[in-house]
Structure 1
Amino acid sequence: MKTEPSSIAALVERLTLDQKVRLVSGASLWRTNPIPELGIPVLKVSDGPNGVRGDGGASAASFPVGICMGATWNPDLIKTLGVAIAEEAKTKEVQVVLGPTINLHRTPLGGRNFECYAEDPVLSGELAAAFTQGVQSQGVGACLKHFVCNDSEFERHTISVEVDEQTLREVYLLPFQIAIEKSSPWTIMAAYNRVNGVYACSHDELLNQVLKKEWGFEGLVISDWFAAKETLENALGGLDLEMPGPSRVWGDALRQAVTDGLVPESVLDDKVRRLLRVLQWSGRLDSPTDAPERSVDIAGHRAVAYQTAVEGMVLLKNEGVLPLARSSIQKLAVIGPNVRHFRVMGGGSSALKPHYISAPLSALRERYPGMDVSAQTGCPTFKYIPEPERDLLTPAVDAGETLDDAARGLRVRFYEDVERTQLIRQRIISQSTVHASLLAGAANAMTLDGEYLCETAGDYTFGLLSTGRAKMRVDDEILIDNWTAPQPGDAFFMQGSTEVRGSRFFEAGRRIRVEIEFEVSADTMFKGLRYGILEPQFLDPISEAVTLASASDACILMVGTNDDWETEGNDRDTLSLPGAQDELIARVLAVNPNTVVVNNSGAPISMPWVDQAPAILQCWFPGQEFGRALMDLLFGEVSPSGRLPLTFPKQIEDVPAFAHYPGREGKVRYEEGLNIGYRGFYAANTEPLFAFGHGLAYTQFDYSDVQAEVNDAEALVSVSLRVTNTGKVAGQEVVQVYVCFPESQVARPALSLAGFTKVTIAPGAATLVTLSLPLARFQYWDTDAKTFQLEAGECTIQVGASARDLKLTTNLRLS
């Protein structure tokens, strides 16, 4: 146990009941209440799985999302990324980063899969531990989330996950247990959902008995935002801090419950101590002053973002097209909806304002300035009208004001009153989604004003949705009325309106004025709007793209999704790419065999064209260094080393959880049990599209001489083998160790990952690889003894490059 400073005990003694309740009831969106008279400062937290947003005004480093981190299979790199995240947090005056997200990819349709590491608990737990170690090495706290079984977005606020005890322990709790044992996180976030009928924020068995007593967790349990729903049950069930504020279920209600004897004051004192510990660990008790948020873009963070993107992208297929040879390409076509409308981060908690973005086209022209490059969209994929290019937006200018020539975006004014007489603040914002909740929490109205440059002549389409009432004027005429009778939609976590659209014809070179008015709705938790502007489109964009592809030496085909389709709050409906992308891909492949398909999605997709594609690269949502990382991989400056952290199925019906998703009548039953993901594919002998752990390089590796032995004294299993790089370039290989138990008398997974390591090997060289695996990886949860047990008998150890490419086998007898 960490030493409890006497100052914390003394502070608890001095606190009144009112002050204790204030401390554990959030103050605002990202802050707790201070007690200045006792020197207790605010604790500030921020979304941080892939960057630190802060209050949203200052730009931040945009690192690759969780699934891209997971695809690196490189804990050392993720630890370094964690250090960078903590350094970013300090520039935002943030003491706790709300990440990592370590729920599992139970189904590839999960809307938040992009934010989570993997479908496997060991891979997730090891990477979470590394991230947490990196963050907390700098005096900033990490927050493991979401505890537990928040594995999809369907009815996430109320759904009850029905899961058996062994599966809960061996699969869904395991990544949290690994991370807690190896990295001692300061905080845990309790989830929205229920587990076996009990809300996660009120779950005495999981929070008090397992987390705090059995595992010895000494930190703070925070509710997910608005997940605290029950005054007494939350208080007695192990929740320590209700967020955000102002409080909805604690505050006065909790004070009364303590006064009435329904909640012992000793229970409240424990919550206060846990909060004070985090303040102590962060240094805030000794240095309570606040400073403005800053944007600090440094070379070290750029390098980490680049390396993580490079190591996270996965080469799924290559029949000699890659790496592209610059000398043989005079004309290059770059085609697809994600050429310009690409994504570097997901929606919801993953979103932030990046310092910069290396766009694919810009990076291509930067790396190869003499190449003839032509680009076309090919087909639209938007669910909502896409945001306009920021360079085409110019903010309105106040009288007497001089703007920097580089200022881009619309001028946004936030008002406290709907009459718009009390201005809170104003700023220039280039993003088309504006969260008043983040930028001006007291705002009840806002306006957006500026100009948009029409580059080509034709019909422009505008879209507008919001959480309240909104309308858009274009050149002083109301074009969109989403004010009079807004209809409910699914944006903004199901609190936004449907999008209303309007169109106008404009000549090329015309600057049009765009004005938007917004007024909040009293019955929503969020305040925000989203607008879009779509430039004129080809009548037959696929045919135009095919013509370009056929006239080019090579083609980079950039397809995928965006945060219209992959976002917190909604699951996907299908594995299929949105729009007519499958048709676009098939037709381009038919005319240009020198084509590489680059998939810019945060989760698996179906690939009806997979047999025709000579090369496929999965790039996920890879952060601010997207363009440079992508081009260096495509042209062979670096060799791919990413490996899939989840299975790509041929069809959704093959997924083990398919028959038990999304749930019905308020319940989702995890009846696939231990055989989540690749385990279920292995058990059913179902061939995946691409296997868990799969990934190619620009070289080849040979495995030989495997051995395994038990080290009882250190409770380890040692697995060693020789790996040889038989190719002509250096490369990184991910050596994966799987186990199964053919003689087991208890339920065991068909195959399970026990450990892994990533090694760099020079061409023609060989290296001895040794993995030390905890004996815990070989245990099962005994529901009678209520503990993990090691079963005596034969264990089969298989080593390979994926869950389907198992190259070496050895047996080990456990006793």
Structure 2
Amino acid sequence: MTTQEPLHEGAPASKAGAPDQNDSGGGDDGGDVDGAGSPPSASPAPTEVEAEAEVETSTPPTPTPATPPRSPKSSSASAILTATASSSPVPFPFTIQIPHRSSSAAAAAASRPPPPSTIQNRISESQRLRNETSRAIVGQLALDEKLSLVSGNDLWTFGGIERFGVPSITLADGPHGVRKPVHGDTQKGHPATCFPASCALACSWDRTLAFDVGRALSVECEELGVSLLLGPGMNLKRHPCGGRNFEYLSEDPHLSGHMGCHLVRGVQHTGRIGACAKHVAANNQESFRFVVNALIDARTLRELYGAGFEYCARVGRPWALMCAYNGLNGSFCSENVDLFRDWMRREIGFGSSRDGGGGGGGEGIVSDLEGAGASGGEGGAADGTDGDGTNGGEEEYDDTMMNPHIVMSDWGAVNDRVEGIKAGLDLEMPGSFGAHDRAIKSALKDGTLMESQLDECCVRIVQFIQRAMKATAVEGEGKGEGEEETEGKGEDKAQADKQDKDEESQIPEQSKEGGDDDSDEDCWEKHHRLALRAARESIVLLKNENKTLPLREKTGEKVAVIGHFAKAPRYQGSGSSQVIPTRLDSVRDLIQEYAGGGGDDDADNITFAEGYHPDQEGIDESKDIDQTLLNEAVSIAERADVCLLFVGLPEIAESEGFDRLHLRLPSQHDALVRSITKINPRTVIVLSNGGPVELPWIDAVPAAVETYLSGQAGARATLDVLYGRINPSGRLAETFPIRLKDVLADDFFPGNRHKVEYREGLAVGYRYFDTAKKDVLFPFGHGLSYTNFEFTDMGVKEATAAHTFEVSLTVTNTGDAAGATVVQCYVSCLKSEVFRPEQELRAFEKVQTLQPDESAKVTLTLSSRAFSYYDVGMNRWIVEDGEYEIRLCSSSRDVRLRRTVTFDAGGEGPSEEAVAAYPPASDPRDTVSEEAFANRMEMSFPEGERKEKMMALLSHDSDDSSSSNRRVEIHRNSILSECQGSFLGRMLRTILIKSMEGHIESEAGKEKANKVRAAFADNFPLRGFVLFSSGGMTFPVLDWMIDVMNGRYCKAFKGVFPVVCGGRFRN
């Protein structure tokens, strides 16, 4: 038997401090009493959980109530839940019909909220009963039934126990749209609304918008029979060349955590649909993603790569978390005890009775998340206790009472299923058809796995299905378990209504697409308009010299529209997130409405040129320039009054499956810009791309707009911005470097097949550039407007809660156009005994549309977490005594107001380990040496285990098989690119690529599809042939092939008979 090459065992998790405090609304999930949806209008002032800031407008318009999107299935006057059990996968095994309450009844219910204790008791009782029921079911299951429960049925369903009436659950990809395959075909899907990709949506800096997008996604899930949506993607953007960066939100964990949290709460606002935050953790590259071991020191992991997930898990409470493919500090994420059992479950309380925290009121969660000084972000005193001197992190973890939240694998991410069960990985996807059953049974027999550990996974899955089965509408007072307000009341809804009204007031009557007061309007049309609103808010005005923008409508001036993206927009990324849109706007189809002259021949003033081929990605100017297309574009540009030039990254240049190799645009795109700006000074650049790009010609361009991947309505949104119907308010959620070599992490990205070292540590994004005082192309948070905003009257006062500050300011529109802006609050530690970045984003607020001379009062809350760092010696968050500067900014480089505060944390200083790992003299401009990185990693481990752990982690040689003439030992985790020295390895690669031909296609053509298939195949591990084969291949057969590839022919010959006679069918 050929064994798989294991990753080295990782470090034990740090023990936590005080346990989190329960929300007063109970801990049942993201659809519970504290409100994942719009809170009642009678609710108290918002906390940081609901909104980090309060905005008080001096002349507030009256919000217009709008009917929230709902499924046509929700039209009955009674609530009915019918569960259907089936031995085969059921797309959506129950029907939910929601009762309609009259406005008077709704008002009465809102005016008589039940006491928090009553709601808590009701949910606790319901949770207890569900727990008992699920345990009773699991207690009667045979072992084979348990094993089938912890593995998917196929690609898109899991669960289903016919004799107990437990149905199967359907899930679908969906970071920015519901991707429900037709009959399991991954290429053909049901049409759904394609919202702006996460890279664009994050630029809105608008939690309410994120919530509304999530709410619309949940409606479409119900329409398409999906119970669990696989999104949002919340990995941090470590490096701008990351292949899936377009699926992720930001380089900053605070912005990513808040936007992701509100997406989750929107999806789960009814309690009927769940969200799955992914990929935990450090899934920051596509190269070697199935097998690479990410080495990250403890402080960097807690402060950057885990912080967004922690916030989302605590406040958003997604129904599921998805583990990443890669390894983390020696263990695959799918079996990482530190990551899931110790951190997510025991410390954070994900999936336990302490979900969202334990013991206390709802206000406790506020101090916890944004910053109590307690361990791991736990609420309580700044010394890391619960306030009574006890260290809550040492509390015994209670697995007997848990909420139905599950941890699932990414598709094919499981390495060792036995270790995964021990670590708390509940569900393996897709279904492996018993591939791991023999190993699990063997572990149960020899005692290395306890059946109680398997039972806990089964119980959580049964509870999860019970939740999905449960009707959430409850007549009478208050809300039932998992139910959220959807009557259009509360702060989120009021802000959305105000924004809709403000934006609609800027749009001429002829371009309005109907109002929200049409309750019979098709939900797809409503969602298209929401996609339009999201795209408008997400567009970033990068540059605007001499007021080149906005353009004036219908002046009759000659407009040249150049670029293939104006005809066929680049509106979403490629890979598992790709959606079949319900409709698709294009600039070429819409431009006449904006630029036409108004006469019978009004189209004569608009000309179009292709400019480039859609799959053209070459960067060699000596051979990658199509002179014919270039000449055609130049010809129309020199005769035009204004030129709209649409350039960016073609689909072939960025996709799931491979990382970008550079930040350059294709040579043809650069040549177009250089040539056209020389002959037409009124050239406006419109960028479409999933991440930062180099713009060497930017100084010659008067105006540039970044649209990212703006979804199916992005074309109209772009024209609305260009022609001034909408004032752009987007702000960059990542830094644009001048050149790739300016990125500190570039020296260590993407590592090699064995490991990737995160040597740069905390020096990621603006934390690096601002600390190193390094010039950038566009800073984090940058975005221009057609008006001007003034920040004044900054005030800082200590709030009622301990170690919490309230920061206030007045924002005034001093220009002559209505517009919205973003207040960004950064905290800088002026003197520290450990290294601290120059500044870190700790609060933000989107200030909705202000009319000229209108002002708004904004209040931000900073709790002690905003001033803290993670101490690797104490294994908790601490705040140093000293002075901190609070900065109110328009971007990380544009500080408008500042105020110094003195923080008294009780005289606690950093541990020796914290100073050793990050000494105060650390210079982020210098490349981190191997010795310094090894020391930083060593300080991440408990003192008694450091030598052993470091030897295990760093002794593994990092050489590539390509750089050595010796034969590489093949094992289950070998990737196909390592197996090409064997005929069998080459044959397997050919088979895999052939099998993907019907599943990976591209609008850009065969070249793009071939590139994706080749990249996927080269990084594909051999174990994947078993996990994706639907039972067609087993591990005994794979091990026999591995013996052949390793040249162990005698052993392989002896194994022929058992393989041929049954190995194919037995694991």
TM over 0.5: yes
**SS of aligned partner of 2:172:** strand
Q: Which residue identity does 1:650 align to in structure 2?
A: I
Alignment map for 1:728-807 (pairs within 5 Å): 728-760=816-848, 761-807=850-896
Instruction: Work out the CA distance in 1 between the residues paired with 2:348 and 2:616.
Output: 44
Instruction: Work out the CA distance in 1 between the residues paired with 2:733 and 2:161.
Output: 45
Structure-2 change in CA distance of 1:23 and 1:558 (3 Å): same
Alignment map for 1:229-378 (pairs within 5 Å): 229-247=415-433, 249-283=435-469, 298-319=524-545, 320-369=547-596, 370-371=602-603, 372-378=605-611
Structure-2 change in CA distance of 1:265 and 1:285 (3 Å): farther
Identity %: 37
Shift of 1:96: 0.7
**SS of aligned partner of 2:862:** strand
Would the aligned equivalents of 2:335 and 2:419 in 1 still touch at CA under 8 Å?
Answer: yes
Instruction: Work out the CA distance in 2 between the residues paired with 1:331 and 1:251.
Output: 69
Would the aligned equivalents of 2:553 and 2:594 in 1 still touch at CA under 8 Å?
Answer: no
1:84 alignment partner in structure 2: 216
1:70 alignment partner in structure 2: 202
Structure-2 change in CA distance of 1:579 and 1:91 (3 Å): farther
Structure-2 change in CA distance of 1:18 and 1:752 (3 Å): same
Instruction: Work out the CA distance in 1 between the residues paired with 2:160 and 2:236.
Output: 36
Instruction: Work out the CA distance in 2 between the residues paired with 1:787 and 1:704.
Output: 36
Instruction: Work out the CA distance in 2 between the residues paired with 1:111 and 1:27.
Output: 29
Between stretches 9-18 and 163-172, larger displacement belongs to 9-18
2:787 alignment partner in structure 1: 699
Structure 2's unaligned 5+ residue stretches are: 1-26, 29-126, 182-187, 352-404, 474-520, 597-601, 619-624, 905-1067
1:48 aligns with 2:168: no
Instruction: Work out the CA distance in 1 between the residues paired with 2:631 and 2:203.
Output: 35
Would the aligned equivalents of 1:41 and 1:284 in 2 still touch at CA under 8 Å?
Answer: no
2:406 alignment partner in structure 1: 220
Would the aligned equivalents of 1:91 and 1:296 in 2 still touch at CA under 8 Å?
Answer: no
Task: Report Cα offsets for 1:778-799 as digits up to 9, x if no partner.
Answer: 2111212211112221111111
Q: Which residue identity does 1:589 align to in structure 2?
A: T
**SS of aligned partner of 2:582:** coil
Would the aligned equivalents of 2:200 and 2:539 in 1 still touch at CA under 8 Å?
Answer: yes
- Aligned match of 1:565 in 638, 653, 661? 653
1:15 aligns with 2:141: yes
Alignment map for 1:426-505 (pairs within 5 Å): none
Instruction: Work out the CA distance in 2 between the residues paired with 1:119 and 1:286.
Output: 37
**SS of aligned partner of 1:796:** strand
Structure-2 change in CA distance of 1:357 and 1:381 (3 Å): closer
1:428 alignment partner in structure 2: none
- Aligned match of 2:774 in 681, 686, 699? 686
Instruction: Work out the CA distance in 1 between the residues paired with 2:444 and 2:532.
Output: 52
Q: Which residue identity does 1:796 align to in structure 2?
A: E
Task: Report Cα offsets for 1:660-702 as digits up to 9, x if no partner.
Answer: 2111352211121112100100111001100000001110111
1:114 alignment partner in structure 2: 246
Instruction: Work out the CA distance in 2 between the residues paired with 1:774 and 1:275.
Output: 36
- Aligned match of 2:756 in 668, 689, 702? 668
- Aligned match of 2:312 in 165, 172, 179? 179
Structure-2 change in CA distance of 1:88 and 1:562 (3 Å): farther
**SS of aligned partner of 1:807:** strand
1:618 aligns with 2:618: no
**SS of aligned partner of 2:856:** strand
Would the aligned equivalents of 2:617 and 2:666 in 1 still touch at CA under 8 Å?
Answer: no
Shift of 1:367: 4.5
Instruction: Work out the CA distance in 1 between the residues paired with 2:287 and 2:822.
Output: 34
Structure-2 change in CA distance of 1:278 and 1:305 (3 Å): same
1:457 alignment partner in structure 2: none
Q: Which residue identity does 2:765 align to in structure 1?
A: G
Structure-2 change in CA distance of 1:20 and 1:737 (3 Å): same
1:519 alignment partner in structure 2: none
Structure 1's unaligned 5+ residue stretches are: 288-294, 386-536
Would the aligned equivalents of 1:756 and 1:771 in 2 still touch at CA under 8 Å?
Answer: yes
Structure-2 change in CA distance of 1:590 and 1:597 (3 Å): same
Instruction: Work out the CA distance in 1 between the residues paired with 2:556 and 2:564.
Output: 23
- Aligned match of 2:298 in 155, 159, 165? 165
Instruction: Work out the CA distance in 1 between the residues paired with 2:863 and 2:585.
Output: 41
- Aligned match of 2:165 in 33, 36, 39? 39
1:380 alignment partner in structure 2: 613
Would the aligned equivalents of 1:314 and 1:695 in 2 still touch at CA under 8 Å?
Answer: yes
Alignment map for 1:602-681 (pairs within 5 Å): 602-664=690-752, 666-681=754-769
| TM-score relative to the length of structure 1 | 0.78
Would the aligned equivalents of 2:540 and 2:784 in 1 still touch at CA under 8 Å?
Answer: yes
Larger relative contact order (CA 8 Å, sep ≥ 6): 2
Shift of 1:304: 1.4
Judging by fraction of residues, say which structure has more strand: 1
Q: Which residue identity does 1:551 align to in structure 2?
A: R
Shift of 1:800: 0.8
Shift of 1:12: 1.6
2:811 alignment partner in structure 1: 723
**SS of aligned partner of 2:784:** coil
Q: Which residue identity does 2:768 align to in structure 1?
A: G
Q: Which has the larger radius of gyration?
A: 2
**SS of aligned partner of 2:653:** coil
Would the aligned equivalents of 2:554 and 2:594 in 1 still touch at CA under 8 Å?
Answer: no
2:903 alignment partner in structure 1: 814
Instruction: Work out the CA distance in 2 between the residues paired with 1:783 and 1:624.
Output: 46
**SS of aligned partner of 1:69:** helix
2:261 alignment partner in structure 1: 129
2:325 alignment partner in structure 1: 192
1:57 aligns with 2:189: yes
Q: Which residue identity does 1:46 align to in structure 2?
A: A
CA RMSD of aligned residues (A): 2.0
Q: Which residue identity does 2:855 align to in structure 1?
A: A
Would the aligned equivalents of 1:21 and 1:255 in 2 still touch at CA under 8 Å?
Answer: no
Q: Which residue identity does 2:813 align to in structure 1?
A: N
Shift of 1:772: 1.4
Shift of 1:210: 0.2
Instruction: Work out the CA distance in 1 between the residues paired with 2:700 and 2:173.
Output: 41
Instruction: Work out the CA distance in 1 between the residues paired with 2:583 and 2:232.
Output: 23
Instruction: Work out the CA distance in 2 between the residues paired with 1:157 and 1:557.
Output: 39
1:488 alignment partner in structure 2: none
Instruction: Work out the CA distance in 2 between the residues paired with 1:715 and 1:54.
Output: 47
Instruction: Work out the CA distance in 1 between the residues paired with 2:686 and 2:679.
Output: 17
Shift of 1:363: 2.0
Instruction: Work out the CA distance in 1 between the residues paired with 2:253 and 2:470.
Output: 34
Shift of 1:154: 1.5
**SS of aligned partner of 2:891:** coil
Structure-2 change in CA distance of 1:807 and 1:384 (3 Å): closer
Structure-2 change in CA distance of 1:715 and 1:301 (3 Å): farther
Instruction: Work out the CA distance in 2 between the residues paired with 1:747 and 1:196.
Output: 22
Instruction: Work out the CA distance in 1 between the residues paired with 2:256 and 2:573.
Output: 19
Residue correspondences, number: 657
Shift of 1:238: 2.2
Would the aligned equivalents of 2:291 and 2:753 in 1 still touch at CA under 8 Å?
Answer: no
Structure 1 residue ranges, 4+ long, deviating more than 6 angstroms after superposition: 284-287
**SS of aligned partner of 1:156:** coil
Instruction: Work out the CA distance in 2 between the residues paired with 1:255 and 1:732.
Output: 60
